[in-house]
Structure 1
Amino acid sequence: MDKQHEDSEENKARPGILLDSDEKSSPHHRHLHHRHSLGYPLPSLVELHIHLDGSFRHSTLFELAQKKGLQLPNGMEPTMENFLPYICVQSVCKSLAEFLEKFPFFIPMVAGNVEALERVAYEFVEDQAIQGVLYTEARYSPHGLTADKLKAQDVIEAINRGLQRGMKEFFIDVRTILCCIRSHPQWSMEIVNLADKYRSAGVVGIDLAGDEHNYPLDPHIPAFKRAVELGIHRTVHAGETGSPESVRQAIELCHAERIGHGYAIIEDPSVYDLIRRKDIHLECCLTSSIQTNAVAKYIPKDSEKQEKHIMLHGHETTTTLHYHIKSRKEVWHPIHHFARDGLNFSLSCDDPSVSQITIEHEYQHALADLKLSPAQLTQCVFNAARSTFLNDNEKQLLIQRLLAKYIPKEIMTDHFHDNMISNTPFTKNT
């Protein structure tokens, strides 16, 4: 394949509407059935670290559970209020392992069911549109959703159908990242092959997720090397509850272009400098890092922790969540270091259904509790945009669309618009 053909293949439009958008006629801008009251009149956010299988609507899960005749433990009445503690992490959560215990309970309600997979994918797009997200990269493990009834490719195709339907209806863009799982290295090479097969259908990369402590990344290295050969983008969960060395290995052995979480890098100046020199993007998820205790060691003694009861039909349930942490200390959270030093990082929800949050909540937490400035949060959005796994043409168009939302139209003259993409401070850190 010659270079010219490679370039044209790389810059082909992926599914979605980045290259063909008419926002004035978008039904999303005319009407949406809002489930959240948010302050973004038009989509203006980019989210890179969100698990599709951690984003299922509670109401959908409950409905599917009822169809399966789900019985709650200890003979509890199968009501939504009794159901919530089994699908949402609570304030008593002590670790990532405990956080992940929720998934085996609710994943079987969707796994192996083509109709349900398509439905939750479609609902995911609607929920992102409602929250003002313009572009998302949703990740999931296809093998984790087969229930030994489907093939991994059947899962991908069902999810793709739901995403495509949602994108056409709600006029936002979603791409997908396929997850390798640390505890299942036997799946990893197939994940790479599936990412290659479905890249023209919206798969833009691969991820490595799972327990950093008990499952090393060594068995996954051949798959990630193959991904490099095929030109498949790569992100790795590392430095969440693991060590800075986990981050170094992800970059040097798995050739990670982005790191999921990465908070531990503040403990090792050499790894921190590696991230900065290589401009590796850090996908930060504030609330989940509280719930999994990933940032517990950094929380000052003077901190004030606030919890929130999950609301259901206008009243408080008994299910409580970690919600906010405030401290008088100006620099303590890893994200304070990232912002101060101009690292390439952004904000995402991780598993919003499990954490019961929205992306707006993450920005509010960063602004009100962690005291990041509006300029730093705006930088987060553009950091995410320039660090997507889109091809160059689509990435440029995404940034153009964001600029139109963040900069007054009267300033965006033709000459200024033509030069902003290459010169704007939002497209690369200064």
Structure 2
Amino acid sequence: MAHNSTNNVQIFNKPRVELHLHLDGAIKPETILYFGKKRGIKLPADSVEGLMSYVGYDEPRNLTQFLEIFSYYMPAIAGDLTPDEVVHLVNQGFQEGEKHFKIKARSILCCMRHMPEWSTEIVSLCKKYRNEGVVGMDLAGDESLNCKLNSGHCTAYEEAFKNGIHRTVHAGEVGPSTVVKEAVDVLKAERIGHGYHTIDDFCLYKRLLKLNIHFEICPWSSYLTGACDPDLMKHPAIRFRKDKANYSLNTDDPLIFKSTLDKDYCVVSKYMGFTEDDFMEANINGARSCFLPDKEKEELLMTLYEAYGMVQSTVC
């Protein structure tokens, strides 16, 4: 069944909340070329079209193949950037064509499964910059290559928990439900990045529903990384929706997937039966589960309630 013909047609013309969006996977190709030239770093191509032939794709691969793509352009934007370069990267980086509102932008610093030596430094940076826009930490990486949780990550997440730093973990994307269990029980994750394979363990899934753990679902991403059944009409998001799970809809890496959030909304509407009411619920879930300070979270929720025509006497 071919799914890649779904167009980026906006079908939900109201404010939206996106929690799972990687900066290094959401920048414009023009920005990558700019930094490559500015920093004297050779890229595989010197035009937008040429670069996208290496970076972007719209047919299913596996997660390992997807992650390898970052090696084509990360040298141009990684490393020691000046403050002005960081501002340019953030302000100019996001893909054009997004119709949804970016109501509040905050940073989550990311540890990598294969680099546990980073984790201690990441949590230190979270503590240092917690009042300057950094709101939490994440653990990402290729579960298909390494599911084992290193003690370095455990120590860092324990430190984060003790210091009130918010925590999310990529888990159950391509890895088994045991990785999700570990994320919640060992790392004390408040949110799960992806989490599709949670439903393979009925007891775990029911427990996380009861705990109101948030799932950051990325529909189009999961199709292109081979995280789920290629038949989108069998996607775990359908189960999450029916069970009233706490989930949101996200793009993940729109640069590489050549998409926008409109694409994901289109996919779940066309293949999974999502309605406008489902979209509103997903965005309210996202706002309630975001890592903004309480006052800003309350403002965000009130913005959504007003835009959605909802009467809400108590903000949770």
Instruction: Using structure 1 for the length normalisation, give the TM-score.
Output: 0.66
Distance 1:70 1:82, change over 3 A: same
Instruction: Name the structure 1 match of 2:55.
Output: 87
Cα distance in 2 for residues equivalent to 1:71 and 1:190: 29
The answer to whether the 8 A contact 1:399-1:421 is kept is no
Instruction: Name the structure 1 match of 2:139.
Output: 208
Cα deviation, 1:347-389, whole Å, max 9, x if unaligned, reads: 0110111111111111111112221122111100000000011
Instruction: Name the structure 1 match of 2:109.
Output: 178
Quick one: which amino acid aligns to residue 174 of structure 2? T
Task: Give how far 1:71 is off.
Answer: 5.9
- State the identity as a percent: 35
Quick one: which amino acid aligns to residue 27 of structure 2? F
The answer to whether the 8 A contact 2:116-2:150 is kept is no
Instruction: Using structure 2 for the length normalisation, give the TM-score.
Output: 0.89
Instruction: Name the structure 1 match of 2:92.
Output: 123
- In structure 1, the gaps of 5 or more residues are 1-35, 136-172, 301-324
Cα distance in 1 for residues equivalent to 2:138 and 2:43: 34
The answer to whether the 8 A contact 2:10-2:266 is kept is no
Q: Report SS of the residue matched to 1:94.
A: coil
Q: Report SS of the residue matched to 1:420.
A: coil
Instruction: Name the structure 2 match of 1:421.
Output: 314
Q: Report SS of the residue matched to 1:200.
A: coil
Cα distance in 2 for residues equivalent to 1:79 and 1:124: 16
The answer to whether the 8 A contact 2:19-2:290 is kept is yes
- Which of 99, 102, 110 aligns to 2:77? It is 110
Distance 1:385 1:277, change over 3 A: same
Cα RMSD (Å) of the superposition? 2.3
Instruction: Name the structure 1 match of 2:100.
Output: 132
- Which of 15, 27, 30 aligns to 1:56? It is 27
Instruction: Name the structure 1 match of 2:302.
Output: 400
Instruction: Name the structure 1 match of 2:172.
Output: 239
Instruction: Name the structure 1 match of 2:4.
Output: none
1:390 aligns to 2:283 (yes or no): no
Residue correspondence of structure 1 range 31-50 to structure 2 within 5 A: 44-50=15-21
Task: Give how far 1:193 is off.
Answer: 1.2
Distance 1:66 1:90, change over 3 A: farther
* Structure 1 or 2: more strand by fraction: 1
Distance 1:370 1:239, change over 3 A: same
Task: Give how far 1:119 is off.
Answer: 1.1
The answer to whether the 8 A contact 2:137-2:166 is kept is yes
Cα deviation, 1:20-53, whole Å, max 9, x if unaligned, reads: xxxxxxxxxxxxxxxx985776x60110001011
Task: Give how far 1:94 is off.
Answer: 2.3
Could you say which structure has the greater relative contact order, defined with CA pairs below 8 angstroms and 6 or more residues apart? 2
Q: Report SS of the residue matched to 2:188.
A: coil
- Which of 311, 333, 353 aligns to 2:235? It is 333
Say which one has the larger Rg. Answer: 1
Task: Give how far 1:120 is off.
Answer: 1.7
